[in-house]
Chain A
Amino acid sequence: MTEKGKPLVEVRNLVKHFPITSGIIRQKKIGAVKAVDDISFDVISGETLGIVGETGCGKSTTARLIVRLLEATSGEVRFEGEDITKKKGAELKALRRDMQMIFQDPYSSLNPRKTIGSIIAEPYAIHGLEKGEGARKKRVQELMDTVGLNPEHYNRYPHEFSGGQRQRIGVARALALAPKLLVADEPVSALDVSIQAQVLNMLRRLQADLGLTVIFIAHDLSVVRHMCDRVAVMYIGKIVELAPGESLYGFPRHPYTGALLSAVPVPDPVGGHRKRELLTGDVPSPANPPSGCRFHTRCPKAQQLCSDQEPPLVDKDGGTVAACHFPLTREEADSRLPALLTAANAPAVDAPAGAA
Chain B
Amino acid sequence: MSTREALLEVDNLKVEFRTDDGVVHAVDGASYTVRPGTTLGIVGESGSGKSVSALTMLGLTRSKRTQVSGRILFEGRDLLTLPDDELRQIRGDDIAMIFQDPLSSLHPFYKVGQQLIEAVLMHRSVSKAAARDRAINLLELVGIPDPHRRVDAYPHEFSGGMRQRAMIAMALANEPKLLIADEPTTALDVTVQAQILALLEDLQQRLGMAMIIITHDLGVVAEVADEIAVMYAGRIVERAGTERIFATPHHPYTWGLLKSIPRLDTPRSEDLVPISGRPPSLINRPSGCHFHPRCPYVREEHRRIDPKLQDVPGEFGHLVACLLPVELRRRVWKGLQSGQTPEELRHLVDDKPVPEAVAAAPPGKEAGP
Contact partners of B273 in chain A: CB under 8 A: 197
- Residue B335 interfacial (CB < 8 Å): no
Contact partners of A227 in chain B: CB under 8 A: 262
| Closest beta carbon of chain A to B248's beta carbon, Å | 12
Could you tell me if A225 and B264 are in contact, using CB atoms closer than 8 angstroms? yes
Contact partners of B275 in chain A: CB under 8 A: 194, 197
Contact residue among A201, A204, A263 (Cβ-Cβ distance under 8 Å from B191): A263
| Closest beta carbon of chain A to B149's beta carbon, Å | 16
Q: Which chain A residues numbered 213 to 227 have a C-beta less than 8 Å away from chain B?
A: 219, 221-223, 225-227
A149 to B39, CA, bound (A): 42
Q: Which chain A residues numbered 147 to 200 have a C-beta less than 8 Å away from chain B?
A: 148-150, 153, 160-162, 164-165, 168, 192-198, 200
Contact residue among A149, A161, A260, A266 (Cβ-Cβ distance under 8 Å from B223): A266
Given the interface pairs A153-B366, A164-B369, A192-B279, the reply to whether A350 lies near B267 with Cβ below 8 Å is yes
| Closest beta carbon of chain B to A246's beta carbon, Å | 8
Contact residue among A150, A201, A281 (Cβ-Cβ distance under 8 Å from B274): A201
Contact partners of B337 in chain A: CB under 8 A: none
A249 to B268, CA, bound (A): 12
Given the interface pairs A196-B260, A245-B268, A351-B268, the reply to whether A282 lies near B192 with Cβ below 8 Å is yes
Could you tell me if A266 and B366 are in contact, using CB atoms closer than 8 angstroms? no
Given the interface pairs A200-B272, A245-B268, A282-B162, the reply to whether A266 lies near B45 with Cβ below 8 Å is no
Given the interface pairs A221-B264, A267-B219, A271-B265, the reply to whether A260 lies near B190 with Cβ below 8 Å is yes
- Residue A1 interfacial (CB < 8 Å): no
Q: Which chain A residues numbered 312 to 328 have a C-beta less than 8 Å away from chain B?
A: none
Stretch of B20-28, B125-133, B194-202 on the interface side = B194-202
Could you tell me if A338 and B264 are in contact, using CB atoms closer than 8 angstroms? yes
B155-182 to A contact mask, C-beta < 8 Å, 1/0: 0000111100000000000000000000
Contact partners of A150 in chain B: CB under 8 A: 366-367
- Residue B293 interfacial (CB < 8 Å): no
Contact partners of A245 in chain B: CB under 8 A: 268
Could you tell me if B269 and A350 are in contact, using CB atoms closer than 8 angstroms? yes
- Residue B354 interfacial (CB < 8 Å): no
Contact partners of B198 in chain A: CB under 8 A: 276, 278
Contact partners of A54 in chain B: CB under 8 A: 189-192
| Closest beta carbon of chain A to B66's beta carbon, Å | 25
Closest residue on chain B to residue A228 by CB atoms:
B268
Contact partners of A23 in chain B: CB under 8 A: none
| Closest beta carbon of chain B to A47's beta carbon, Å | 13
Could you tell me if B267 and A268 are in contact, using CB atoms closer than 8 angstroms? no
Contact partners of A197 in chain B: CB under 8 A: 260-262, 272-275
Stretch of B52-60, B239-247, B319-327 on the interface side = B239-247
Size of the B side of the interface (Cβ < 8 Å), in residues, is 51
Contact partners of A225 in chain B: CB under 8 A: 262, 264, 268
Could you tell me if B190 and A192 are in contact, using CB atoms closer than 8 angstroms? no
Stretch of A2-10, A60-68, A341-349 on the interface side = A341-349
A194 to B46, CA, bound (A): 11
A197 to B274, CA, bound (A): 5
Q: Which chain A residues numbered 292 to 321 have a C-beta less than 8 Å away from chain B?
A: none
Contact partners of A341 in chain B: CB under 8 A: 264-265
- Residue A135 interfacial (CB < 8 Å): no
A35 to B217, CA, bound (A): 30
| Closest beta carbon of chain B to A219's beta carbon, Å | 7
Could you tell me if B262 and A265 are in contact, using CB atoms closer than 8 angstroms? no
Could you tell me if B271 and A267 are in contact, using CB atoms closer than 8 angstroms? no
- Residue A353 interfacial (CB < 8 Å): yes
Contact partners of B257 in chain A: CB under 8 A: 193-194
Contact partners of B223 in chain A: CB under 8 A: 265-266, 269, 272
Could you tell me if A265 and B197 are in contact, using CB atoms closer than 8 angstroms? yes
- Residue A32 interfacial (CB < 8 Å): no
Report the interface size class on chain A.
35 or more
Contact partners of B195 in chain A: CB under 8 A: 278-279
Contact partners of B194 in chain A: CB under 8 A: 262-263, 265, 276, 278-279
- Residue A44 interfacial (CB < 8 Å): no
A259 to B193, CA, bound (A): 12
- Residue B283 interfacial (CB < 8 Å): no
- Residue B296 interfacial (CB < 8 Å): no
Contact partners of A55 in chain B: CB under 8 A: 160, 189
A197 to B219, CA, bound (A): 16
- Residue A340 interfacial (CB < 8 Å): yes
Could you tell me if B272 and A265 are in contact, using CB atoms closer than 8 angstroms? no
Contact partners of A353 in chain B: CB under 8 A: 268-269
Contact residue among B160, B161, B222, B366 (Cβ-Cβ distance under 8 Å from A267): B222
Could you tell me if A279 and B190 are in contact, using CB atoms closer than 8 angstroms? no
Closest residue on chain B to residue A204 by CB atoms:
B271
Contact partners of A249 in chain B: CB under 8 A: 264
- Residue B359 interfacial (CB < 8 Å): no
Could you tell me if A162 and B266 are in contact, using CB atoms closer than 8 angstroms? no
Q: Which of B265, B267, B273 lies at the interface centre, i.e. has the most chain A CB atoms within 10 A of its CB?
A: B265
Q: Which chain B residues numbered 261 to 310 have a C-beta less than 8 Å away from chain A?
A: 261-269, 271-276, 278-279
- Residue B256 interfacial (CB < 8 Å): yes
Q: Which chain A residues numbered 247 to 269 have a C-beta less than 8 Å away from chain B?
A: 249, 259-269
- Residue A270 interfacial (CB < 8 Å): yes
Q: 7 pairs across A/B with beta carbons < 8 Å?
A: A196-B274, A260-B191, A265-B197, A269-B222, A270-B247, A272-B222, A278-B194
Those 3 A-B pairs whose CB atoms lie nearest each other, nearest first: A265-B219, A226-B262, A197-B274
Instruction: Write the residues of chain A forming the contact surface with B, with a CB cutoff of 8 angstroms.
Output: 54-55, 148-150, 153, 160-162, 164-165, 168, 192-198, 200-201, 204, 219, 221-223, 225-227, 245, 249, 259-272, 276, 278-279, 281-283, 338, 340-341, 343-345, 349-351, 353
Given contacts A195-B278, A276-B198, list 16 more A-B pairs with CB under 8 A. Answer: A160-B366, A162-B369, A193-B218, A196-B261, A201-B274, A225-B264, A225-B268, A226-B266, A261-B264, A263-B190, A265-B194, A267-B222, A269-B222, A272-B223, A276-B194, A345-B264
Instruction: Write the residues of chain B forming the contact surface with A, with a CB cutoff of 8 angstroms.
Output: 45-46, 145, 159-162, 189-195, 197-198, 216-220, 222-223, 242-243, 246-247, 256-258, 260-269, 271-276, 278-279, 366-367, 369
